[in-house]
Amino acid sequence: MAKMTFSGIDELALSMKEIAELPDSVANEMLQVSGKIIRDAQTRKVKALLGVRTGALAKAVTVTPRLKTKRDGTRYVTVYPKGTHHINPDGSKVTNNEVFFINEFGAPKRHISAKGMARAANAESADKATAAQADVYDKWLQSKNL
């Protein structure tokens, strides 16, 4: 009769637990590297679709520097255009985020068509961003001899 034995199952269980408890520093590094790839893609798409008058909107796209966590435990960073785009004659500020949003989704009453620049840039850079995250994750696994 055949007999099956296992060796090292305790180490495997510990390893799986370590993987499940990915440190915030590694998660942040993964999200930062992919966020920068997405930021660069959005910057290129803004320049391509809107042209470059001053380049302010393209330069405003940024990645939040720190990891954020939702109530459900989801960890994330945000890629968005920050800062003031211009000041209206009445003194009110118009943010880069507002200008980006209007160009992304359009404003039919103002005769501005939707450009979909963020959606297109995100789709185009998804594979590259995912691969960059996988590289960071793989380096972390190798540091744990996994």
Q: How high is the pLDDT of residue 125?
A: 95
Q: How high is the pLDDT of residue 98?
A: 96
Per-residue model confidence as pLDDT tens digits over 66-82: 989 889 888 899 999 99
State residue 139 phi and psi, 5-degree precision. -60, -40
Per-residue model confidence as pLDDT tens digits over 12-48: 554 556 666 788 899 999 999 999 999 999 999 999 9
Contacts from 43-52 at CB under 8 Å and sequence distance 24+?
A: 44/121, 45/117, 45/118, 45/120, 45/121, 45/124, 46/100, 46/103, 46/117, 48/117, 49/103, 49/115, 49/117, 50/103, 50/115, 50/117
Asked if residues 58 and 46 have their Cβ atoms less than 8 Å apart, the reply is: yes
